Amino acid sequence: MQKEAAIREPLILGHKTYHDITEDVCRPIEDKAPKMWYILFGIALIVGLYGVGCILYLLGTGVGVWGLNKTIGWAWDITNFVWWVGIGHAGTLISAVLLLFRQKWRMAINRSAEAMTIFAVFMAGLFPLIHMGRLWVGYWVLPIPNQFGSLWVNFNSPLLWDVFAISTYLSVSLVFWYIGLIPDFATIRDRAKKPVAKKMYTILSFGWSGRAKHWNRFEMVSLVLAGLATPLVFSVHSIVSFDFATSVIPGWHTTIFPPYFVAGAVFSGFAMVQTLLLIMRKAMSLEAYIHTKHVEYMNIVIMVTGSIVGTAYITELFISWYSGVEYEAYAFLNRATGPYWWAYFAMMTCNVISPQLMWFRKLRRSLLFTFFISIVVNIGMWFERYVIIMTSLHRDYLPSSWSMHYPSPIDIGVYIGTIGLFFTFFLLFARFFPVLALNEIKSILKGSGQSYKESPDYHKNH
Amino acid sequence: MANKVIYVMYDDDGVLKDGAKKLVSKGIKIADAFSPFPIHGIDPIIGVKNTRLGIMAFIYGLTGLTLATVGMRYFMIVDWPMNIGGKPNFTYLDNILSFIPITFEFTVLCAAHGMAITYLLKNKTLPGMPAQNPDPRTTDDKFVLEIRTADNSIDEKELDELIKDTGYIEIDKKNI
């Protein structure tokens, strides 16, 4: 058993036993769902289905139903794609990077953060797929032997790198998440009374035993997957940023993009984790496991990554002037003072100023304030992508092609729809899956549980 | 005497570990331990060897690396070379910078999935398999040691005496 400093705040509050942990996590799954769950699920599902309708209309009619024009050929689709991929960065960061750093507080949040990651990457993946227009030839992005003379996909293109990066990220995250879930499904399986539930959880738990050798392998798999997923997290958003950075559009052609996008992704991902967990801990009475200290840790991550993002914005502005390239200088001047100044202003306020408020201990430990800031950050990060994409495109080299972008109802419908689908998936997860990593929480109970830390024996022997 | 398997149940991981230490020091061979979470330090006591899955992951990773390299060389250099923005592509090495991202992704893809599949197969845990734990409470808050009489030469009564000292809460014997 690992000991930690007495002055370090306990991670599990109250006098919990191993059995209490099982009870607390399994009860919401075994009980009837509260009325609020049905209401939220209904709303999310309706919104999600509206989005599916919009997508079907788009597929039937063509990408022309989006508000694109000949100058702005990439707008809300890629904005939403990058936004969702960014949100999908917190989960694996929490479970992989923090595992390597032996951060025990991650254990309370990793399961739901990873679920969020997977659902967010689903939503992200939708946009490149539907923007092909002909969804059914989507498999052309894979290097499959074919009869077009054997014509291969272009491995020099960042867009193809993206295909590989996103699909690797999604599938590896899914596997990592599921391997952690197997022992917890076994816990639910062994408690289940109703035959259907018993059957379902038996299938899901793969016959997990909990024998010493299996745990030995389990820990090795978790560690190696974490080691593999860590560079993967950083590579994925770097590659997403290459979509822009390797082009020659002023405002995109920037070497600062990969680190800046990764920091932004972590920033927005943690904000979404906060939004979801602050509600979930209340609704499922998990306050003993996810409490102020966890929120504070996450707020510190938001503050640090927010500062990196802020520094990147200012560096970009400076370099656009310092480089002496007039097109670059104009792109940034136009970004801040042109017709999209309001989006730039929203981005600067939400992403640069709001995380700085977390320097105040009182504010970063306030749950209500955190919830508010987490929404602000999510909005800000959407505007960041919007600003980068829109302002760089709408002023062409040829002033006669200058243009503006106005989203069509389908643009808006698809975007809102993905939010609905995301919440539909997340609500299903919260209803049927163990939302805390039971086995991991139990393993830190004696080291970081309040009742154990306060007992006089804690710092004796061992 | 019929061969028996004895399941000794504890309600604390520390007690189980101390108990296992005591039994092993008396020369008892412990077949297995079941727990709701990994008990750190139990493996050397009951003689569970460290897994070699890490080596497997490395081999799968190398396989991915090789496949990606061979594949991209064939697609882009040998079979159908294309002039893309004037990027040099006369040999694989000329063009290697463009191939690094996918080489990396594919290495990770193969290492992670290869390892996960090996893990599930080695554990014999696959969708729909029946539960392998001796008592449903071992996935909640109970810890079980499995001792087989066939592994131990001492008399069953003596064994019972030794087990009694370890502070267990329940004992279950099954003929096999």
Least Cα separation, residue B91 to chain A (angstroms): 14
What does the alpha-carbon distance between residue A153 and residue A163 come to, in Å, rounded to a whole number? 11
Q: Which of B51, B125, B129 sits opposite A216 (nearest CB)?
A: B51
Burial A34-60 (b: 16+ CB within 10 A, else e): eeebeebbeebbebbebbbebbeebbe
Which DSSP category does B147 fall into? E
Q: What tens digit of pLDDT does each residue of A233-272 get?
A: 999 999 999 999 988 888 888 889 999 899 999 999 999 9
Residue of B nearest to A193 (CA): B136
Residue A462 has pLDDT above 50, yes or no: no
The answer to whether the CB atoms of B123 and A228 lie below 8 A apart is no
* B40–A contact, CB cutoff 8 A: yes
Residue A71 has pLDDT above 70, yes or no: yes
Least Cα separation, residue B124 to chain A (angstroms): 8
* B90–A contact, CB cutoff 8 A: no
> Which pLDDT score, from 0 to 100, does residue B37 have?
87
Q: Which long-range contacts (CB under 8 A, 24 or more apart) does A52-56 make?
A: A52/A417, A52/A421, A53/A413, A53/A417, A54/A410, A54/A413, A54/A414, A54/A417, A55/A126, A55/A130, A55/A414, A55/A417
Q: What tens digit of pLDDT does each residue of A331-356 get?
A: 999 999 989 999 999 999 888 999 99
Phi, psi of B7 (to 5 degrees): -105, 115
What's the per-residue H, E or C state across chain A?
CCCCCCCCCCCECCCCCHHHHHHHHHHHHHCCCCHHHHHHHHHHHHHHHHHHHHHHHHHHHCHHHCCCCCCCCCCHHHHHHHHHHHHCCHHHHHHHHHHHCCCHHHHHCHHHHHHHHHHHHHHHHHHHHHHCCCHHHHHHHCCCCCCCCCCCCCCCCHHHHHHHHHHHHHHHHHHHHHHHHHHHHHHHHHHCCCHHHHHHHHHHHCCCCCEHHHHHHHHHHHHHHHHHHHHHHHHHHHHHHHHHHCCCCCCCCCCCHHHHHHHHHHHHHHHHHHHHHHHHHHHCCCCCCCCHHHHHHHHHHHHHHHHHHHHHHHHHHHHHHHCCCHHHHHHHHHHHHCCCHHHHHHHHHHHHHHHHHHHCHHHHCCHHHHHHHHHHHHHHHHHHHHHHHHHHHHCCCCHHHCCCCCCCHHHHHHHHHHHHHHHHHHHHHHHHCCCCCHHHHHHHHHHHEHHHHHCCCCCCCC
* B79–A contact, CB cutoff 8 A: yes
The answer to whether the CB atoms of B105 and A229 lie below 8 A apart is no
Inter-residue contact B146 to B171 (CB < 8 Å): no
Question: Taking CB atoms and an 8 Å cutoff, what residues of chain B touch A239?
Answer: 101
CATH code of the domain occupying B4-49+136-175: 3.30.70
Q: What tens digit of pLDDT does each residue of A158-213 get?
A: 889 999 999 999 999 999 999 999 999 998 888 888 888 888 888 898 888 888 88
Q: Give the residue carrying structure tokens 């400093």.
A: A5
Q: Which of A150, A165, A212 sits opposite B42 (nearest CB)?
A: A212
What does the alpha-carbon distance between residue A221 and residue B57 come to, in Å, rounded to a whole number? 9
The answer to whether the CB atoms of A228 and B127 lie below 8 A apart is no
Task: Evaluate the CA torsion angle A49, A52, A58, A63 in order and state its sign.
Answer: positive
Q: Which of B87, B98, B105 sits opposite A164 (nearest CB)?
A: B105
Would you list the domain boundaries of chain B?
4-49+136-175, 53-123
Residue A456 has pLDDT above 80, yes or no: no
Inter-residue contact A121 to A84 (CB < 8 Å): yes
The answer to whether the CB atoms of A225 and B112 lie below 8 A apart is yes
> Which pLDDT score, from 0 to 100, does residue B30 have?
85
The answer to whether the CB atoms of A154 and B141 lie below 8 A apart is no
Q: Which of B75, B108, B123 sits opposite A217 (nearest CB)?
A: B123
What tokens were used for A270? 């943690």
Residue A286 has pLDDT above 60, yes or no: yes
The answer to whether the CB atoms of A164 and B123 lie below 8 A apart is no
> Which pLDDT score, from 0 to 100, does residue A1 have?
53
> Which pLDDT score, from 0 to 100, does residue A138 have?
84
* pLDDT category of residue A459 using cuts at 50, 70 and 90: low
Least Cα separation, residue A138 to chain B (angstroms): 19
Give the pTM: 0.90
> Which pLDDT score, from 0 to 100, does residue A285 have?
82
Residue A146 has pLDDT above 90, yes or no: no
- Domains, chain A, ranges and CATH? 18-135+154-454 (1.20.1630.10)
Among A314-328, A370-384, B128-142, whose mean pLDDT is lowest?
B128-142
Inter-residue contact A355 to A300 (CB < 8 Å): no
The answer to whether the CB atoms of A182 and B128 lie below 8 A apart is no
Question: Taking CB atoms and an 8 Å cutoff, what residues of chain A touch B139?
Answer: 183, 186-187, 189-190, 208, 210
> Which pLDDT score, from 0 to 100, does residue A460 have?
58
The answer to whether the CB atoms of A17 and B53 lie below 8 A apart is no
What is the CA A64 to chain-centroid distance, rounded?
30
The answer to whether the CB atoms of A202 and B141 lie below 8 A apart is no
Contact residues, B window 142-161, toward A, CB-based 8 Å cutoff: none
* A190–B contact, CB cutoff 8 A: yes
pLDDT per position in chain B (176 positions), as tens? Answer: 568 888 888 888 888 888 888 888 888 888 888 888 888 888 888 888 888 888 999 999 999 999 999 999 998 888 888 888 888 888 889 888 889 999 999 999 999 999 999 999 988 888 888 888 888 888 888 888 888 888 777 877 777 877 887 888 888 888 77
> Which pLDDT score, from 0 to 100, does residue A108 have?
86
Question: Taking CB atoms and an 8 Å cutoff, what residues of chain B touch A181?
Answer: none
Integer CA distances (angstroms), B73 to A239, A315, B80, B109, in order? 21, 38, 10, 19
Least Cα separation, residue A190 to chain B (angstroms): 5
Question: Taking CB atoms and an 8 Å cutoff, what residues of chain B touch A155?
Answer: 72, 75-76, 98-99, 102
> Which pLDDT score, from 0 to 100, does residue A454 have?
76
What does the alpha-carbon distance between residue A194 and residue A163 come to, in Å, rounded to a whole number? 42
- ipTM > 0.85 (yes/no): yes
What does the alpha-carbon distance between residue B9 and residue A115 come to, in Å, rounded to a whole number? 34
